[in-house]
Amino acid sequence: MTEEEQDKLNFERLLDESVRIHGHLCPGQVLGVRMSMFGLVKAGIADPKGRDRKNIMVYVEIDRCATDAIQSVTGCSLGKRTLKFVDYGKMAATFVNLGKKEAGTNRFRGTRVLAKEESRDAAMDYFPEIREKYRRQTEAYKVMPDEELFAWRDVLVEIPPEDMPGRPLQRIECERCGEYVQDRREVRKDGRPVCRACAGAAYYEELG
């Protein structure tokens, strides 16, 4: 089996697994799998679910279908504290190699991968006979070259100790509601530790 055939087989296997978890095949699933495979190579992560599992962290910038694919391929998750969501609304992700830390800092090397907007239109050139847009994109994204699908940059990401995987560094009681806050997410209000909700940043409103 040639290297190209092996890559295709790996892609198909990863896509099947991602679709099983996500629930359906769509352009975002294909894009997420391709983005993950590409980003992992660029970041120097060969075996994200095996020997490299403690050396990877991924920042995703959108809560769409591709994010499920990224989680499936990389094995990163919120529960493991290896998947971080930053709500930029961009079809992009940064693959961080925790084994590549700058000495004396909390900065780690990685690669940020962005899906090119023009790849949507380019899909038409690959399968013009497919009239339905999303199906055309799904098939095109499977075969388009990485350079046509993605833009990428090597980056440094600062990750404070409280954001790293592992046991909580701290648990502190909110002096207003009495609920406990982990991982230094509390804020100071009038010199007292309070949770972010009590500090006025609640995403919910209590009833009754």
| Domains parsed from the chain with CATH numbers | 3-163 (3.30.1330.130), 171-201 (3.30.60)
| In contact, 22 and 31? CB cutoff 8 Å | no
The confidence score (pLDDT) of residue 1 equals 56
Torsion sign across C-alpha atoms 72, 74, 75, 81: negative
Express each pLDDT in 22-63 by its tens digit.
999 999 999 999 999 999 999 999 999 999 999 999 999 999
Sort residue 163 into left (φ over 0), alpha (ψ -120 to 50) or beta: alpha
Poorest-pLDDT segment among 58-72, 125-139, 145-159, 163-177: 125-139
Burial class (CB in 10 A: 0-12, 13-18, 19+), 153: exposed
This prediction has a pTM of 0.93
pLDDT digits (tens, 9 = 90+) for 189-201: 888 999 999 999 9
Instruction: Return the biggest CA–CA distance within the chain.
Output: 67
Tell which residue, 143, 150, 14, has the closest CA to residue 73. Answer: 14
What is residue 121's predicted lDDT score, i.e. its pLDDT? 86
Per-residue pLDDT, averaged over 172-189, amounts to 95
- Quote the CA–CA distance of 169 and 182 in Å, as a whole number: 8
